[in-house]
Amino acid sequence: MNEQLSSIDLNAKALTAMCHLCLPYMHEGSHIINLASNSSWQPVPYINVYGASKAYVMSFSRALGMELRTRKIHVMAVAPGWIKTEFFDHAIHDDTIKYFDRYYTAKQVIDKAMKDLKKKKPVSAKRLSGGEKE
């Protein structure tokens, strides 16, 4: 239960707090980039709290983006597939993740997000080029 609640604290509470703490200091042309997940699009059995917390990130980011349009502050949610990080290693080890078709490096995700940010997209989520197959 502590792990589940920590996921909510990080992905929902901390993200919301950081956005609202920074907003008074942001000016026209500023950007907010929040890290959602492919898990944010639908319920995900066995990582349900993680998926739900990332769905919060997606919904919050899209709504905040609409609210901040008049201030000309752009908000984008990034929703990549599997990223080769410590989370991925842990989830594979404890059998949380039972299937994945490929994973991406953090650099690939960042490069794609920066391209989408320049285009003022509200969500950076399309499949990245490349990616290592397992």
Helix (H) or strand (E) holding 49, with range, is: helix 48-67
Catalytic hit among 50, 56, 103, 104: 50
Angle at which helices 48-67 and 15-22 pack, to 10 degrees? 20
Instruction: Indicate if the pLDDT at residue 32 is higher than 70.
Output: yes
pLDDT in tens, 59-87: 999 999 999 999 999 999 999 877 777 76
pLDDT of residue 86: 75
pLDDT at 33 over 70: yes
C-alpha dihedral sign at 97, 101, 106, 111: negative
91 and 97 in contact (C-beta within 8 Å)? yes
User: Measured between alpha carbons, how far is 51 from 41 in angstroms, rounded to an integer?
Assistant: 8
Write the pLDDT tens digit of every residue in 109-118. Answer: 999 999 999 9
Residue of 129, 116, 104, 131 whose CA lies nearest to 31: 116
DSSP states of 27-40 as a string? -TT-EEEEE--GGG
103 is an active site residue:
no
Q: How far apart are CA 69 and CA 45, in angstroms?
A: 35
Three-state SS at 103: strand
